[in-house]
Amino acid sequence: MRNCLLPVSWTGFGITSKSNSCILNWTTGNETSNAYFTIERSSDGIHYQTIDTIKGAGNSINTSNYTYTDPSPLSGTSYYRIGQHDINGNSSYTGIQLYNNSESNFIHVFPNPFHGTTTVLVNGSGTDPFTYRIHSISGQLVEQGTGKVNEPLTVGEIIPEGIFIITINNTSQVQTFKIIKQ
């Protein structure tokens, strides 16, 4: 077995908003043979399209900071990730970040599909708790619990691999998502 060094050491990835634009910021601790980054956006968190590319540092042992502004995020929720592409054609990806430009509460479940656990995040101005219930495709309740608005909640650790339905209920809405544990 050979030891393989990752071409990029990811140290941060976040999103902020300014004047209806979405600003992506990411940081690398070092880069080895890094050719470029792709900025990828999705409306569903599954199917991504490259919306732009940014040249990487190539070879660097220093921290590198990158910024990209998406002037036209999708209506509702946009899912973003950054792809790193090295000169040998290999790639790696950041985790997923979400941007929501709607005014109402919005519910996110990410990543999906997932290994181990996934995260539920209910964004909004309210302070009421929300409840969630995860059912198997056959309708069996396999997990349930509560969380707080604007605080990420880790779920799905105890469920086996497979396809499930998660229903999230807060005071203003109920949303249902298909989730896949691999």
Give 70-83 pLDDT, tens digit per residue: 998 887 778 899 99
58 and 92 share one domain:
yes
pLDDT tens, position by position, 11-30: 778 787 777 788 898 888 88
Percent of the chain with pLDDT over 70: 91
| Residue range 89-115: mean pLDDT, rounded | 79
Is residue 154 pLDDT above 70, yes or no? Answer: yes
Is 2 domain-assigned? no
What is the overall mean pLDDT for the chain?
A: 84
Q: What is the pTM of this model?
A: 0.57
pLDDT bucket at 177, cuts 50 / 70 / 90:
confident
Distances (CA, A) of 145 to 77, 119, 131, 136, 158: 24, 13, 6, 16, 12
Percent of the chain with pLDDT over 90: 31
Is residue 1 pLDDT above 60, yes or no? Answer: no
Among 98, 130, 161, the domain boundary falls at 98
Among 82, 98, 114, the domain boundary falls at 98
Q: Shortest CA distance to 51 belongs to which of 24, 30, 11, 28?
A: 24
- SS3 assignment, position 21: strand
pLDDT at residue 126 in the model: 65
80 and 149 share one domain:
no
Place of tokens 């790193």: 84
| Residue range 31-41: mean pLDDT, rounded | 92
Any idea of the CA torsion for 45, 94, 74, 147, to the nearest 10 degrees?
Answer: 60
User: Domain containing 24 — which CATH number?
Assistant: 2.60.40.10
Cβ 24 vs Cβ 39: under 8 Å: yes
pLDDT at residue 105 in the model: 59
Is residue 107 pLDDT above 50, yes or no? Answer: yes
Cβ 126 vs Cβ 108: under 8 Å: no
User: Domain containing 158 — which CATH number?
Assistant: 2.60.40.1930
pLDDT at residue 2 in the model: 43
Among 60, 78, 98, the domain boundary falls at 98
Structurally, how many domains does the chain consist of? 2
